[in-house]
A = this chain, B = another copy of it.
């Protein structure tokens, strides 16, 4: 049977842990894959943990008991917290992004893996201390961001639809008032989607008045689930009074100024 050097084992362990955030991996998995003693593997894991500490990129926790092992908990490094929101403001301030009707075009950003990975890491880090069961979002544009947050937290994503589909089985639908346009809107979710008593966070791309977030709160109540937090990429500050509170955002959008420039600033959460 193959024997590996410590450097080789460390590379393999790092890869496997990074690909499975917040999931308990039994030590046996590593000892069998890498043909190494348990004590040796534990030493390897300490080295990986130290390196994560140096990179300010999370930690590895030991989970005791029969189903025990180790799990990697993500963290947004200080330099990412400091630089990414500013970079995002710069990207969004590009004059070419302003489209007819004075909207800011951001569809590309909301489907860009490089940007979303960073944004999701900031949001996931905010909620990493909570015991969560689901990340919930509403179709369509916020889905990749919410998916990435769910992945980093090692939990299931749940996508709320605008209307109910035959392929969803029995659904619960609610009507809610969009906070900004005061229009009645609906959202719908399969009864199979959420277990009663679950804890969720709501992730979305953009918050205007917070009508959708409030709708999610009501929908979760129907499922007897709790909303433990709200995170959005961009907070529209043109509507300063929100229907929900206690949310985090990465940047704030203040509309388009008289010179035709989009006005953006970093949200207070990330200034610290």
Contacts and interface: CB of A to CB of B under 8 A. Distances in A.
Interface in A50-87: 50-52, 54-55, 57
Interface size class of A (residues with CB under 8 A): 35 or more
Contacts of A108: 156, 192-193
A47 B101 CA distance: 54
Interface in A62-119: 99-101, 103-108, 111-114, 116-117
A106 B165 CA distance: 12
A15 B12 contact: no
Interface string A9-39: 0111011001110010000000000000000
A111 B166 contact: no
Contacts of A99: 167-170
A158 interface: yes
Contacts of A190: 105, 107
Interface in A157-194: 157-159, 161, 166-170, 190, 192-193
Q: Count copies of this chain in the complex.
A: 2
B10 A111 contact: no
B107 A192 contact: yes
Contacts of A166: 101, 103
Contacts of A15: 14, 18, 51-52, 55, 57
A211 interface: no
Contact of A10 (B11, B19, B101): B11
Contacts of A150: 111, 113
Contacts of A51: 4, 8, 11-12, 15
Contacts of A221: none
A6 interface: yes
A259 interface: no
A116 B151 CA distance: 10
Contact of A169 (B54, B57, B105, B151): B105
Complex A-B, nearest 5 residue pairs according to Cβ-Cβ distance, in ascending order: A99-B169, A113-B151, A111-B157, A11-B51, A14-B14
27 contacts: A5-B47, A6-B7, A7-B10, A8-B50, A8-B51, A10-B10, A11-B14, A11-B48, A11-B51, A12-B55, A15-B52, A15-B57, A23-B114, A99-B167, A99-B170, A101-B166, A103-B167, A105-B192, A107-B193, A108-B156, A111-B150, A111-B157, A111-B159, A112-B157, A113-B150, A113-B157, A147-B147
